[in-house]
Structure 1
Amino acid sequence: MINWQGFRINYHLWTRRCLYPLISVSVALSLCLSTILPSKAIDLSPLLFQGVQIFNLSNISDRDEIDLGKQMNQQLHKEVKISHNSQLHKYISEVGRRLAANSDRPNIPYTFQVVEDAAINAFATTGGFIYVNTGLLKAADNEAELASVLAHEMGHIEGKHLIKQMREQAIISGVATLAGLDKNKAVGIGVQLALNLPRSRKDEFDADKRGLANITRSGYAQSAMISFMKKLQSSSSVPAFLSTHPAASERIISLQRQINNQPSNQNNGLDNLAYKSRIRAFLR
């Protein structure tokens, strides 16, 4: 006859002594295998940032856009010669801040810089970074014309045109992958586009429209935007500022139509002598 009570007691003792340690070891092993050691930890923030760069550029946050602009600015300082004339920088920034207060994105901390280059050109990157050549400053007849150029470039930032171009270029060039876009590649693409490649026809018209609305709200003469384009259009060589599609003549017609539809009696910034005198003092 089997002593069931004794068997049950011995069985429970055997379970505690043999199975419980095995279970403990199994749990410990599973925890070790599923837990990433501190020395092997993966920093997910670059991957998250890369994902934003590739798949959500059209919805990029202001903070990330500004950070991207700062990185591009660091690279651009190696590509172009930035003026360190404090008086000139102060003047351009004063005009720029006046426009920024009336822009569609006044929450962005706009940064205005002067490039020492005789070419008539201006360009913008992302996050409020705008650059204007000394050649363009000399070509402008008055502050209103200068303001029209800055407002146009501000229009590109308001429309996030470069960001859209970056996304398209990354896909075309094949550097956009499921893993994301390396930040250095993103910066490189952005700098290349800002310096060398023209905006699309749609983007140029959009920047003109936004720029005209901006100078109107800021009190500058609307006519300055057209007078500047006409002056450059009649020059012997097409400047870099207008060497994009659509042609300047088309943009002038479009701007004139907008002015006729919504005229303004504001005529600030048309003092040619005051502007020329000031610019000569800055650029001598």
Structure 2
Amino acid sequence: MTARLFRYLILSLAAIAFTARPAMAQQILRDAETEAFMAEMSGPLIKAAGMEPRNVQVMVINDPEINAFVAGGQYVWVHSGLIAQADNVNQLQGVVAHELGHIEGGHVIRSGEGIKEATGVTLLSLVLGAAAIAAGGAEAGMGIMGLGQQAAMGRFLAFSRAQESSADLAGARYLSTAHLSGKGSLEFFKKLQNQEYRLAIPQDNSYGRTHPLSGERIQVLREVYEPDPAWNNPPDPQLEARFERIKAKLIGFVSEPTQTLLKYPESDQSIPAHYARAYAWHKSAYPQKALEETDTLLAAQPHDPYFLELKGQILLESGRPAEAIPPLREAVQLTSQPLIATLLGHALIATEDDANFAEAEKVLRNAIARDRENPFAWYQLGVVYEHRGDTARAALATAERYSMMGQDAMALRSADAAMQGLKPGTVDYLRAQDIAMVSRAAVEQQRKRR
């Protein structure tokens, strides 16, 4: 009987813990223009939340659901589906403001409190149920356990709903402090409410949900937003134009080309439409059509770094790396953006011209100095080192790449190989040693879990 009760306890606690665990399996979408836009769009909100903008990142993940979340650290994760469904930049700002409320409130960390409280109810119900069973009341004992599990889950869900309501009000405060209207926030909750209607979710009871019903949230927030002095403030027109560009290129990148071309038909001659079609044609392996769309963009804005980046990318990925270098080089000069610099380094290497490798190394080292969390940049730098016969630093670059990809065994092997050829005590040697130490510990932990 003890073994059965113990197994029941483990399953019950696992169910609660699983409910609180955010999904992190999606692919991160890194794009220079999008990251620059997200930083500018969210900057006033981050300051309003009392945080430093350079320490908070708003990142995009490839997921069609309308969702955003925080999962530890100062990161806000926005689904690509949410951006695609947002009608304007103010709606996106409303969502980000809400997620910043979770960060300021420490809700990810404090979720443990909700789990702990629910676990306490679970344990008590198991003890009382076991006592009833031992006294001969098997049916009563199992009933006590079942009710205990229901009460525990109810406690946890109530805790989660309280956090969501707290984040709603915090987000409203940030919008007001940043002089941004709450109209977009309400509009987006109405989108979620329409989704609830389509899914036939009852609108009269939020019990059993991790979030309050959208109708309840709209009612509360309307009373906060409408009297606010910022209620009628229009969105920044330049930021709105950039949002439309970001949305179009994202749709062009993640959607099926046929869907993109339906949404942005040839009759639409706007900048966002040309942008979306350029990505759609590139995905469809029609580089000439993609270049025609990109050239139209550059005719309108000849020195736009992101249009130059796109042209370079299309040329590079269609087997014309030498032609890709000039637009990419200009884009890097205009922005110093490490993601674009990595693409330029790739183009220089892809020419297989020895004369380009010195510039490739310089460009890639500068890129990594500004953004170390880029596995592809480390890969390209490793190619440069290997090309010049520096196998030790090629191995170190490979170790860096595998380490950030979570491939600990490969990182350990590469770091050990790097130390064989590096002079002890040097910066590179010590870095290889650090990677080896961390990777070896991770490999040992994995081995113990098997």
Q: TM-score, normalised by structure 2?
A: 0.37
For residue 95 of structure 1, report the CA deviation from its aligned partner.
1.4
Tell me which of the two structures has the higher relative contact order, counting C-alpha pairs closer than 8 angstroms and 6 or more residues apart. 1
| Residue 228 (structure 2) aligns with | 262
Any idea what the Cα deviations from partners look like across 1:197-234, whole Å, max 9, x if unmatched? 99722111111111111122223221111011112211
Q: Which has the higher helix share?
A: 2
| Residue 201 (structure 1) aligns with | 161
For residue 94 of structure 1, report the CA deviation from its aligned partner.
2.0
For residue 108 of structure 1, report the CA deviation from its aligned partner.
7.9
* Pair 1:275 & 2:235 matched: no
| Match runs of 1:23-62 below 5 Å | none
| 8 Å CA contact 1:144, 1:269 repeated in 2 | no
| Residue 249 (structure 1) aligns with | 215
Task: Give the whole-Å Cα distance in 1 for the aligned partners of 2:91 and 2:46.
Answer: 16
| 8 Å CA contact 2:34, 2:246 repeated in 1 | no
For residue 155 of structure 1, report the CA deviation from its aligned partner.
0.3
Aligned residue among 84, 106, 109 for 1:160: 106
For residue 171 of structure 1, report the CA deviation from its aligned partner.
6.8
| Residue 43 (structure 2) aligns with | 97
* Pair 1:84 & 2:30 matched: yes
Aligned CA distance change for structure 1 residues 224 and 112 (closer, same or farther; 3 Å): same
| 8 Å CA contact 2:189, 2:218 repeated in 1 | yes
Task: Give the whole-Å Cα distance in 1 for the aligned partners of 2:79 and 2:159.
Answer: 18
Task: Give the whole-Å Cα distance in 2 for the aligned partners of 1:220 and 1:139.
Answer: 20
Q: Tell me which amino acid in the other structure corresponds to 1:267.
A: P
* Pair 1:211 & 2:171 matched: yes
| 8 Å CA contact 2:70, 2:77 repeated in 1 | yes
For residue 127 of structure 1, report the CA deviation from its aligned partner.
3.0
Moved over 4 A (4+): 170-174, 269-274
Q: Tell me which amino acid in the other structure corresponds to 1:86.
A: A
| Match runs of 1:111-150 below 5 Å | 111-150=57-96
Gapped regions of structure 2 (runs ≥ 5) = 1-20, 121-156, 253-450
- If you compute each CA radius of gyration, which structure gives the higher value, 1 or 2? 1
**Matched positions, count:** 186
Q: Tell me which amino acid in the other structure corresponds to 1:162.
A: V
Q: Which shifted more, 128-137 or 216-225?
A: 216-225
Q: Which shifted more, 104-113 or 203-212?
A: 104-113
Q: Which shifted more, 88-97 or 200-209?
A: 88-97
Gapped regions of structure 1 (runs ≥ 5) = 1-71, 175-196
| Residue 10 (structure 1) aligns with | none
SS of equivalent residue, structure 2 residue 78 = strand
Task: Give the whole-Å Cα distance in 1 for the aligned partners of 2:176 and 2:102.
Answer: 17
SS of equivalent residue, structure 2 residue 215 = helix
* Pair 1:233 & 2:193 matched: yes
Q: Which shifted more, 253-262 or 130-139?
A: 253-262
